[in-house]
Each structure stands twice: as structure tokens, then as C-alpha cells.
Amino acid sequence: MTRTGAPRPHPAAPPPPGVTSHSSIGPLRRLRFALSLSGLGLWLAVPALSAMAMTLTGDDDAATRAQAVGGVLASMLLPAVLLAPLGGMLAARADRRLMLIIADVLRLVVVVTVPLVNTLPWTFAAAFLVACLSLVWTPAARAALPAVVPDEDLRAAARRSATRVLFGPAPVAALLFAVLALIAGGTLGRDSRADLALYVTAAAFLASAAAVAMIREIPATWSAPVPAPLKSIFQGPGTAAARGIGIAVAAASLTAGAVVAVARVHTGGLDGGDAGYGSVLAGLTVGLGFGAFLGPRALVPFSRRRLLGLAVVAAALALIVIALVQNLVVVVFMTGFLGMFAGAAWSNGIAALTDPDAPEDTRPSAYLRSVALVTAVVVFAAVPLIAGAAGSHRLELGGGVYDIDGSGIGLLVAAVLALLTSLVAYRRLDDRRGIPLVPDLRAALRGEIYTPPEQAAALPQRPARRERGVFIAFEGGEGAGKTTQARLAAIWLRDHGYDVVTTHEPGATKIGMRLRAMLLDRDTTGLSDRAETLLYAADRADHVANVIKPAMDRGAIVVSDRYVDSSLAYQGFGRQQAVEDIARVNAWATGGLVPDLTVLMEVPPQTGLRRLSAPADRIESESQDFHERVRAGFRALAEADPDRYLIVDAGRPQGELSREIQYRIREILPDPVPAGTEDATSTFPAIRDF
């Protein structure tokens, strides 16, 4: 399906021979470099302009300084809130390459004039103008990257690399600012410390404009819809879950925004100056990037929503430490942690909401971005005001004195507010309510999913009296080799005179085959999780009624490739639906039929998925995290009922595996021939080992 607004392939550019990864494409590499330079300029402009504004207050009053910095920061975000779609529209109508160059050159001019004009109002105006120009530059840059890549597959990677190019320079810029402030402080004197950083900012814009000008491959036109933040907030997120995630993202943005808002003044109080300010910003941006990367990958068996709630609570707690501990090193490190938690909350929130098939401007992620943006603008304006109004205080505590300045109080107020908001978010998002947090976390650290004892009791148990036949299920993740081992076991059993029926799920019956097509076809989009669960259960009900039960009634051994546990693992743990509910639905669908033995073939998802030869079906093409949860889910099920399961490491040689499985199957086998025959011949049928 073609996505609205997705750039068209560039007809003039055939795929270069031997291209295997997006980074090996020349124009893309050069464009990324050019855009990073421009990104560096933008991120350097933030501390440089705010430091400039602070210097220009010409006043040592902390409140005035805090408000000057807050004013610059708010001016830099306001255009994104008010004018974003306008920038996108303008960018869409003009030549993309020209737009990038013009935006860079104009930003250069604006930035260079700041130290020359040297007044506070012009600094604010410059912050606003740079931000307006960036509104044209950013969508142009985002759309330009994938557009220079001719190959559709590589284009997705190029689109992802756009985010790295836009945000990656942030920590570099923060550190560069710290270094420039140190150099300028020593050479230019106290009043012109920000000048050097501003000139370097301008130089970065110039270099970027020159680099973009030299790249000819950027196609001229494209359309990149940019959502309007206020509109998307007023329209709301559509679902209650998205609203909960929105609250969490607001709390995360509140914590990170508060640090940025008063960092310059706060580090001044800790004798850190501009260099300290740069270090705090570097800590925050590195933390954010690391957290955003780690978020969906950390503690995979743990509920994503619970993790999201916990991450924002942790960010709020980190902010309390930052507000109260007056030591620059501690502040920088805690800001790093805060950034990490906020980044993890952000990426988990986005991952929870993103429907990759939705057009860009209707995605709930646009809603989250708007929430983060608007919260940050409010925080940039409000926290410095609170800091100014509060002023410095000296507290006498148990004989000692404790000084807290206005910025510390501003941070503390923000932290308390963030903590309350994040607790609301946690309560709303928690999808494992009633399950204690500590054992849940401990199990996740071991790579397992915690199943409380009462929940384990609700899972299917083996009936006391066995049916006439024997039922063996093979389970496991993708590419575990179940099908092969199920077949080998069936051959071995037949070899020993048993009546064996081999079967599989989904799709062993006529109706089942139609359900299977619906379930696994990649063209099936938008199938809800519950509907998917019920379709698998429907297939299973038909399978039991028409294949398994009749075979067992005549005393056969049924060997099935997948059964109920697949639904518990994939639809329950994988899709994060209540496992007990799925167990109940399936118990009803199967009339309570539970295998006598389930062989769980264990394989790391990466290895298993690599073994698949056919193109991935709808389930196989789920994310790595999904498959990790499925694996952990299977393990949790097997470990809850060790008598009924055999867990084997599917990475071992096939012969060894078969032998281990045969040993275990032997324990549950009835006699291969009717008991009467045995009496008559008095020979006990031996089962040979291979």
C-alpha cells in the first residue's frame, strides 16, 4: 500500500549496482552529512541564543536571567506550535534543495546579526525567526533523505536515519557549546561569551548550505504533510489508551523541559556557568537518545505500558534529586538519567500507538509529538517565572543550613507536578493491575514473564482421566523446527505400530484453511487483536471437533504442530492481552482438551526467523520484541506445568533432539497393540532406539 505523502521513487536514478545498505549510497551519505551540519547549527543556536539573552539582561538578578532564557526557549518552540503546517506547506510547494539552502542562509544571517545588534529584543526575535526557518528546513530535510534513495526497501531505513540526523547532533552541539563557552570565557571576557558560539552556529549553517548546494540528486518536488499540533491536541487521541500515553508523555516532557528551562541559571548558581549549562544539555540529550533507543528493547517480557508508566515516575524522581542536590556533577548525571527515562517513555509511547499504515498526519504519534511540544512551551515560559517569583531561601534544618535558589524551587515544583502526573499516567496505563510490581520486574530481569500463582491455576490443567488416545503438541516460536520434529516423532511412532495422526494449526480443516489464509495473509490489515484470537480459537474448535477428537476416540496418537499454547503465547503474551481470558476462550473452544505432552522447542527469535525461507507471513513479520515476548510466554507456560512439558533447546543437532523427544514420549505411551493381543502372545512390544 502506498502511503499518502510518501516520496515517489526518483525515476532518473537507477539503483546503483552492489548497493546493500542505505549508508553505502553516495548522495545519501553526503546529504546526511550536510543535514547533520545544519542540525548542529540549530542545536547550537539553542544554548547560544539563551546564553546571549542572559548576558544581555545586564543584570545579576537570577529571576530576570531565568526569564530571559525561558523567553528565548519559548520563542524557539512557539512557531512549531502555531505555524508548523504552514512551514510544511511552504516546503511542499518549493524546490526542496533550494528550500534547504535558503533556510540555512537565512538562519545564518539572523544568527550573525545577534551579537552585532546586541539587544535583548532582537535576540528574542532571532530565536523566533530561526525557529520559523527551521519549520521549513525540517520537513524538507525529512523528505529529502528517503528521496535520494531509489530502492523502496532502503528508503524505510533512510527515513529512520532522518531522525538520527535531525537529533543526533544535539549532544555534540551541547558539548561544543560548553567548550566554546570555556574558550570564549578565557579570551573574550564575560560579556561576549556567547558571541563565539553564535559565530560557530552561523558557520555550521553556511557549511550545510554549501554542502547541500553541491548535491545534485535531490529531487525537486514532494509533499510532506505536517500535522498542526494544537489541532491534533484538540481533536484528541481517539482512544482512552492513547490519552493515558499522552499524559505520560506530557509528564516526560515536563521533566526534560524544566531542566532545559532553568539549566543555565541553575548551573550558574552551582558555579558551572555556560560550560556547566552545555554539560547539562549534553547529559540530557545523550540520555534522551539512549533512552529512546533502549525503550522498546529493555525488559522485553515486561509490560510496555507498565514500563512507560514507571519510566515517567523515575524521570520525575530524578528531577527531584536535580532540584535538591547542589552539585554540578550530580546534576549532570541525574539529568542524563532523567533524559534516559524520558526518552524510554517517549519511544515506548510511540511504539504503543504507531500504526505504520496510517498516513503521517493522522497517526497518534503526531498527537504525542504535539503533547510534548505544547507542554515544553508552557514549561519554558512557566518554570522561569516560578523560579523568579520564588527567589532564594535559606532553610535551617536540624542545626545545618540549606540554601535553595529560585531555579531549585522552580525545578522542585515541576518535579512534584511531574510526579503527580506520572502517577496518574501509571495508574491509567497499568495493564497488569493487581500483579505485584517487584516480582514482575524481577521475573522480567531474568527474561521471564511473572505469572501469579492464582493466574497459573486458571491455565489449562491436564484432566485427571486420560482420553482413549494420546495427544502430543509441538510448540515454539518461528523457525524452531517443530514441524520437522513432529514429523520425525510421527514416523518413529508409526514404526512402532501406532496409529498416528499428524496435524497442524492453523488450517488443518477446510474451514481452517480459509481462516488460516485470513490470519496469515499480509494483506489482512487492521485485524483487531481480539478478532485474531477468536479466529485462531475458531480454527482450533473445528480442528478438535473434526480431526483431533475423532482420532483420539478411535485410540490414535495425535501429533499436532501447534495448539492452545500458541494462542496463549502469541495472542496473550505477544499481543499483550489477558492470558487468562484467552485460556478461557480456548478451553471452551476445545471442550477442555489438553495435550498429554507438549514439546516446547526453544530457539532465540533472531535465529529462528533467520531460518525461514518463505517470505514472512503476517505474524512472522511482527517486531523482534513481539517474538521475544512470545518466547518468554512459552517458557512461562512450560515452567508453570513442568509435568506436561518437555522443553528442548532447538539449537542442538536434530538426531539428539529426536532422541530426547522419544524418551519423553515413551513415558506417556499406551501399548501399541490391544492389551488382549499382548496376553495372547506374551510379548511386550519393545520400542527401539535409533
- Residue 199: other Cβ atoms inside 10 A: 17
Which residue reads 531522525 in cell numbers? 163
Give me the least distance between CB of 671 and ligand TYD, in Å please: 31
- Output 104 or 539, the one with its CB closest to ligand TYD: 539
- Output 160 or 522, the one with its CB closest to ligand TYD: 522
Q: Considering the rule CB under 6 A, would residue 505 count as an interface residue with ligand TYD?
A: yes
Give me the least distance between CB of 350 and ligand TYD, in Å please: 24
Give me the least distance between CB of 536 and ligand TYD, in Å please: 4
Please say whether the beta carbons of 216 and 30 come within 8 A.
Answer: no
Helix (H) or strand (E) holding 687: none
- Output 277 or 474, the one with its CB closest to ligand TYD: 474
Applying CB under 6 A, which of residues 43, 570, 626, 645 lies at the interface with ligand TYD? Answer: 570
For ligand TYD, which stretch binds (CB under 6 A), given 101-109, 147-155, 561-569, 642-650?
561-569
SS (H, E, C) 296-326: CCCCCCCCHHHHHHHHHHHHHHHHHHHHHCC
Give me the least distance between CB of 511 and ligand TYD, in Å please: 15
Give me the least distance between CB of 596 and ligand TYD, in Å please: 18
Which letter does DSSP use for residue 497 in this model?
T
Which letter does DSSP use for residue 24 in this model?
G
Q: Are strands 597-602 and 557-561 parallel, antiparallel or unpaired?
A: unpaired
Most distant CA pair in the chain: distance in Å?
A: 111
Which of 460, 505, 475 lies closest to 634 in space, CA to CA?
A: 475
Q: Considering the rule CB under 6 A, would residue 562 count as an interface residue with ligand TYD?
A: yes
- Output 217 or 505, the one with its CB closest to ligand TYD: 505
Give me the least distance between CB of 642 and ligand TYD, in Å please: 22
Give me the least distance between CB of 516 and ligand TYD, in Å please: 8
Torsion of CA 232, 78, 332, 343, to 10 degrees: 20
- Output 146 or 479, the one with its CB closest to ligand TYD: 479
- Output 365 or 571, the one with its CB closest to ligand TYD: 571
Applying CB under 6 A, which of residues 70, 289, 506, 572 lies at the interface with ligand TYD? Answer: 506
Which of 418, 384, 116 lies closest to 248 in space, CA to CA?
A: 418
For ligand TYD, which stretch binds (CB under 6 A), given 43-51, 119-127, 174-182, 559-567?
559-567
Residue nearest to ligand TYD (CB): 570
Binding to ligand TYD (CB under 6 A) within 33-62 occurs at none
Q: Considering the rule CB under 6 A, would residue 405 count as an interface residue with ligand TYD?
A: no
For ligand TYD, which stretch binds (CB under 6 A), given 219-227, 360-368, 564-572, 675-683?
564-572
Give me the least distance between CB of 606 and ligand TYD, in Å please: 15
For ligand TYD, which stretch binds (CB under 6 A), given 256-264, 321-329, 521-529, 567-575?
567-575
Please say whether the beta carbons of 5 and 224 come within 8 A.
Answer: yes
The three-class DSSP label of residue 500 is strand
Task: Print the binding letters for residues 246-265 with ligand TYD: x by CB under 6 A, - otherwise.
Answer: --------------------
Give me the least distance between CB of 351 and ligand TYD, in Å please: 20
Q: Considering the rule CB under 6 A, would residue 629 count as an interface residue with ligand TYD?
A: no
Give me the least distance between CB of 586 and ligand TYD, in Å please: 8
- Output 115 or 633, the one with its CB closest to ligand TYD: 633
Give me the least distance between CB of 468 and ligand TYD, in Å please: 24
- Output 450 or 626, the one with its CB closest to ligand TYD: 626
Give me the least distance between CB of 599 and ligand TYD, in Å please: 13
Give me the least distance between CB of 565 and ligand TYD, in Å please: 8
In terms of Cβ atoms closer than 10 Å to its own Cβ (0-12, 13-18, 19+), residue 14 is: exposed
Q: b/e string for 30-48 if b means 16 or more Cβ within 10 A?
A: bbbebbbbbbbbbbbbbbb
Looking at residue 223, its amino acid is: S
Applying CB under 6 A, which of residues 177, 426, 536, 645 lies at the interface with ligand TYD? Answer: 536
Give me the least distance between CB of 479 and ligand TYD, in Å please: 7
Q: Considering the rule CB under 6 A, would residue 634 count as an interface residue with ligand TYD?
A: no
Could you tell me how many helices (H) and strands (E) the chain has, helices first?
26, 7
The three-class DSSP label of residue 641 is coil
The pairs formed by 107-112 with CB atoms below 8 angstroms and a separation of 24 or more are 107/41, 107/42, 107/45, 107/133, 107/134, 107/137, 107/205, 108/41, 108/202, 108/205, 108/206, 108/209, 111/41, 111/45, 111/48, 111/49, 111/198, 111/201, 111/202, 111/205, 112/198, 112/199, 112/202
Give me the least distance between CB of 650 and ligand TYD, in Å please: 12
Binding to ligand TYD (CB under 6 A) within 436-495 occurs at 478, 483
Distances (CA, A) of 271 to 263, 326, 624: 12, 10, 46
C-alpha cell at 176: 561544543
Give me the least distance between CB of 520 and ligand TYD, in Å please: 6
Applying CB under 6 A, which of residues 138, 279, 566, 590 lies at the interface with ligand TYD? Answer: 566
- Output 57 or 483, the one with its CB closest to ligand TYD: 483
Which of 341, 122, 379 lies closest to 261 in space, CA to CA?
A: 379
- The Cβ-side half-sphere exposure at 133, using a 13 Å CA radius, reads 24
Give me the least distance between CB of 284 and ligand TYD, in Å please: 41
The pairs formed by 158-164 with CB atoms below 8 angstroms and a separation of 24 or more are 158/22, 158/28, 161/22, 161/23, 161/32
For ligand TYD, which stretch binds (CB under 6 A), given 237-245, 289-297, 461-469, 558-566?
558-566
Q: Considering the rule CB under 6 A, would residue 628 count as an interface residue with ligand TYD?
A: no
For ligand TYD, which stretch binds (CB under 6 A), given 113-121, 304-312, 343-351, 563-571?
563-571
C-alpha cell at 477: 516460536
Distances (CA, A) of 528 to 208, 525, 533, 627: 46, 9, 9, 18
Q: Are strands 645-649 and 597-602 parallel, antiparallel or unpaired?
A: parallel
Count of residues that interact with ligand TYD, criterion CB under 6 A: 14
Q: Considering the rule CB under 6 A, would residue 594 count as an interface residue with ligand TYD?
A: no
- Output 405 or 565, the one with its CB closest to ligand TYD: 565
Please say whether the beta carbons of 377 and 238 come within 8 A.
Answer: no
Distance separating alpha carbons of residues 310 and 455, to the nearest angstrom:
23
Binding site for ligand TYD (CB under 6 A): 478, 483, 505-506, 520, 536, 561-562, 566-567, 570-571, 619-620
